Structure 1
Amino acid sequence: MYLCPAWALQEALSKGEATQLFKDQPLKGFPLHVLYPCRAFVPAKVRAFIDKLRATCRKQGLG
C-alpha cells in the first residue's frame, strides 16, 4: 500500500486507474522534515523551496 497526496494521483483517479481507499477516514498529519547541511548559510534556492513547501502544506491544511 502506498500513501500519496491526492494531487499526485488525481489523473489516475479520474481515469479509474487508481482507487482511493478509506475515503471516510482521512489521514492525520505527519511530520515533514527538510534537511540541509548548515543553518548559517542557506542558499536562496533552498530557502525558496522550503518557503514554497511550507506554504503548500499550509494551503492543503497540513501545517
Structure 2
Amino acid sequence: MKQIQHLAAFKTKLTVKVACKTFTNLMLNELGVSEESVAAMLGYTTTKHIRYYGKANEERIAKEVDFI
C-alpha cells in the first residue's frame, strides 16, 4: 500500500484500517451488501467490527425502506 500511496501521490497515509473502512463503506452503501456478508468477507464472525468501520448513509436507509 505504501507503493500505491507513493505512485498515486496520496496525502492520506494508506493503512489496513483505511482499506477496511473504504471497503466496508463501499460494500454497505454503494452495493447494498448486508453487514453479515461484509463481516464474513473481512474475516470476522460478528458484525461488531463492521459497525466500527462503516455506517449506513441516508441513501442506503432510504433504499431499504423504499423511499427512492
TM-score (norm 2): 0.28
TM-score (norm 1): 0.30
Higher Cα radius of gyration? 1
Normalized per residue, the structure richer in helix is 2
Name the structure, 1 or 2, with higher relative contact order (CA <8 Å, separation 6+).
2
